[in-house]
């Protein structure tokens, strides 16, 4: 599904020195894989997501998605088949619009010509069913503005917006980092249900070592702009957070 070959990205800092963030990163992700990503600050995790989504372009290397070369495809075109949920609960949504209006925008994103802006009863019923799956009472907040929701509720809406029409790939960019532990657990549980139900191909950056081990079928460690190690199968299942922290000197938070 996703194949990244020799991906490189550098930024020129104030003194004219090149800061190399990705240094020939290679990564292959199969269809319906759920891959969790760990790494210290500066390892290149967010840069990788920005390159996959098209927010920035690489200096070298190639990105294939479902055998299509998307390396230099504009971000707005990629957004039709790549979903992304950010760390900030408000990012990726329109805070001054209602929950129903936000979901309607996402629902019509792939079919703008035929999109009916009227929020019909049948469309609201679809949204209500989707929201009810999160078990956060959001099905009763269709007419509430996003900015009036809790952080966890915002993230659930953002998740549903990205997956109401299942994307080819979803990027989960530390999407529980700004939430309290109980809410983060609820959002992660909902995330797992969506990924498994729709057989999504997912990449998730997290700084929670336990989540990296507990979720997904594969864990990769990034260091200095490359994939330093991978854990799958029994090796991943038997990992402990202490082992990860010792092995890679990781700091939580």
pLDDT digits 0-9 by tens, 124-182: 899 999 999 999 999 999 999 999 999 999 999 999 999 988 999 999 999 999 999 99
Residue identified by tokens 């952080």 is 151
pLDDT tens for 223-237 read: 999 999 999 999 999
Residue 138's Cβ-side half-sphere holds a number of Cα atoms within 13 Å equal to 33
Residue 24 to residue 10: CA distance in whole angstroms: 11
Q: What is the CATH number of domain 83-166?
A: 3.40.50.300
Q: Going by DSSP bridges, is the β-strand pair 2-12/18-29 parallel, antiparallel, or unpaired? A: antiparallel
Q: Between 25 and 16, where is the model more confident? A: 25
> What is the structure's pLDDT at 248?
73
Q: How confident is the model at residue 26 (pLDDT cuts 50, 70, 90)?
A: very high
The DSSP H or E segment spanning 235 is helix 233-237
On the question of pLDDT at 253 being above 50, the answer is: no
Domain boundaries, the chain: 83-166
| Cα separation, 198 vs 169, whole angstroms | 11
Tokens of 186: 């609820």
Q: Which of 212, 222, 218 is nearest to 233 (CA)?
A: 218
Both tokens of 184, joined, read 């983060």
Reported as a single tens digit per residue, the pLDDT across 31-85 is: 999 999 999 888 999 999 999 999 999 999 999 999 999 999 999 999 989 999 9
């Amino acid at each position: 599904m996703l194949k990244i070959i020799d991906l490189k990205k550098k930024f020129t800092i104030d003194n004219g020195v090149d800061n190399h963030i990705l240094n020939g990163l290679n990564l292959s992700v199969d269809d319906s894989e759920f891959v969790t990503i760990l790494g210290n600050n500066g390892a290149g995790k967010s840069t990788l997501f920005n390159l996959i989504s098209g927010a920035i372009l690489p200096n070298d290397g190639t990105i294939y998605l479902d055998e299509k070369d998307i390396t230099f495809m504009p971000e707005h075109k990629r957004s039709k088949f790549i979903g992304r949920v950010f760390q900030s609960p408000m990012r990726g949504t329109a805070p001054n619009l209602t929950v129903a209006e936000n979901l309607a925008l996402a629902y019509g994103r792939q079919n703008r010509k035929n999109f009916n802006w009227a929020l019909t009863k049948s469309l609201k019923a679809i949204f209500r069913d989707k929201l009810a799956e999160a078990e956060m009472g959001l099905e009763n907040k269709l007419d509430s503005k996003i900015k009036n929701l809790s952080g966890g509720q915002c993230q659930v809406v953002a998740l549903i917006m990205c997956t109401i029409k299942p994307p080819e790939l979803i990027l989960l960019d530390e999407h529980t980092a700004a939430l309290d532990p109980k809410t983060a657990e609820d959002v992660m549980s909902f995330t797992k249900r969506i990924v498994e139900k729709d057989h999504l191909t997912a990449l998730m950056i997290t700084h929670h070592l336990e989540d990296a081990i507990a979720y997904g079928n594969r864990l990769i460690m990034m260091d200095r702009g490359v994939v330093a190690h991978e854990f799958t199968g029994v090796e991943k299942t038997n990992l402990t957070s202490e082992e990860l922290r010792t092995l890679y000197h990781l700091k939580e938070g």
